[in-house]
Amino acid sequence: MKEKVQKIIEKIRPHLNADGGDIELIDVVDGVVTVKLKGACHGCPCAAMTLQNGVERAIKQELPEIKRVENVA
C-alpha cells in the first residue's frame, strides 16, 4: 500500500514544487496516510486546504480504501 501511495505522491509533487513546497510520505497504517509538508508548504495557512483538497483527494481517487491523510509537524 505504501508503494501505491508513494506513486500518487510523485504525481502530486510537481504541483507542490511549483509553489516552493514539497511532501514526504511518512507511513500508511490502517488506511491513514501520514505525510510531512515541507518547504513553502510547511506552516503555510493554505496547507490544510492543500492537504485535504489536493493530496487527500488525489490519493482517495485512486485508493478509495484510504480513510484520511494527516500532516505531521
Report the alpha-carbon angle 36-13-39, nearest 5.
50
CA proximity to 28, closest of 70, 62, 64: 70
Residue pLDDT, tens place only, 35-51? 999 998 888 888 888 89
What is the domain range of residue 42?
A: 2-71
Can you tell me the mean pLDDT for 28-34?
A: 97
d(CA 43, CA 29): 24
Residue 73, pLDDT > 80, answer no
Residue pLDDT, tens place only, 44-71? 888 888 899 899 999 999 999 999 999 9
d(CA 59, CA 8): 6
DSSP assignment letter at 24: E
Return the pLDDT at 3.
Answer: 97
Total domain count, the chain? 1
CATH code for position 51 = 3.30.300.130
